[in-house]
Amino acid sequence: MLNFETAGAPHSGYCTPSATEGVVLETEFTFKCFDWQDTNPLTYEFQLGEEPISYGSSPKSASTVLPAGAPEVDYQLQINIIIKNAVGVEVATKLFIKVPRLIKTRYSKELCLQSSPVIDINLVTFKVHHLKGGPFILFGRVVFN
């Protein structure tokens, strides 16, 4: 009679984000795992959906900025973390991060310029006094068509 012992999955750990909400393409996120146990060395793969963020023996991801989540799911992004031992047995965990599309600032209002023919002006400075909390300066390009 032969007895075989199979490798178990990594266990008893958890993972956390550096923040649960952030500003699109601005907030730097890291993800870190704690207390995962196994008799074999572990690797950690951090993914945004199925896109890799980082991979290696460190239980901490590389720092990354994230795109906006979809409004249909309240701007939540799914971070997948795969903890794998040296013989290939893995366990996956998920984190959810909220990254809204709009950057909220003290001057959150949409400016809409509607114009008519003829002029192309580059690097024009506009002073906008009528916004709540103004005045402030908006740099940009205006194209009248």
Predicted local confidence at residue 72, as pLDDT: 96
Where on the phi/psi map is residue 87: left (φ > 0), alpha (ψ -120 to 50), or beta?
A: alpha
Cβ 79 vs Cβ 31: under 8 Å: yes
Where exactly does CATH 2.60.40.10 map onto the chain? 14-98
Predicted local confidence at residue 106, as pLDDT: 54
Predicted local confidence at residue 90, as pLDDT: 97
The count of C-alpha atoms lying within 13 angstroms of the C-alpha of 73, restricted to the half-sphere facing its C-beta, is 10
Given a cut of 60, whether residue 67 has pLDDT beyond it is: yes
CATH superfamily of 14-98: Immunoglobulins (2.60.40.10)
Give, rounded to a whole angstrom, the gap between the first and last alpha carbons of the chain. 86
Given a cut of 50, whether residue 145 has pLDDT beyond it is: no
Q: What is the pLDDT of residues 107-136, one digit of tens each?
A: 544 433 333 333 333 333 333 333 344 443
Given a cut of 90, whether residue 83 has pLDDT beyond it is: yes
pLDDT (average), residues 82-92: 96
Question: How confident is residue 1, by pLDDT bands cut at 50, 70 and 90?
Answer: confident
Alpha-carbon distance values, 92 to 11, 20, 71 (Å): 10, 19, 25
